[in-house]
Amino acid sequence: MMVNVWNWKKNVVVAANKVSSKVTAVSFSDDSSYFVTAGNRHVKFWYLDHSHTSKVNATVPLLGRSGLLGELRNNFFSDVACGRGRQASSTFCITSSGLLCEFNDRRLLDKWVELRRVDSASVSRQLTWTHLDPVSSSRDALNCPVLIRLS
């Protein structure tokens, strides 16, 4: 499988690299300096050197660095969202087992919290995630930028 970055105006691939895992989610940083892919046992940060792509008329290698997953390395990361605003240096992922994870600016899986119930496997770039349990009528809210459970 390949990851390609296209210049859609010129209809050419400007950067490419192989990826060893199936990619199931992608998110781009607000400043477009990197993007992140996610999948089974896979979170990878991709960096594009704009100075090379503008000077060379051929496809250049895309630089990919794996997220440092630590003890959560055996999870399926089903969705990813790059932070924005004050949290632009963070990246958030959700796993199929119901963990909401935060990667810091060094690609380290720094914080995670187990969600009580996972109805869907997606995460958005909104600041607050809210879950309403229809059985118990309880409500959980999680402030994604700092991963703190709110009461």
| pLDDT per position as a tens digit, 63-101 | 999 999 999 999 999 999 998 888 889 999 989 888 889
Low-confidence winner among 48-62, 84-98, 105-119 (lowest mean pLDDT): 48-62
pLDDT at position 123: 64
Q: Is 110 exposed, middle or buried (0-12, 13-18, 19+ CB in 10 A)?
A: middle
In order of start, what are the domains of the chain with their CATH numbers? 2-150 (2.130.10.10)
Q: 106 is written with which tokens? A: 């060094």
| Mean pLDDT of the chain, nearest integer | 79
- Residue type for position 55: K
pLDDT at position 45: 98
pLDDT at position 131: 43
What does each C-alpha distance from 62 to 78, 79, 84, 120 come to in angstroms? 23, 21, 23, 31
Which of 33-47, 74-88, 133-147 is modeled with the greatest confidence?
33-47
Low-confidence winner among 58-62, 74-78, 102-106 (lowest mean pLDDT): 58-62
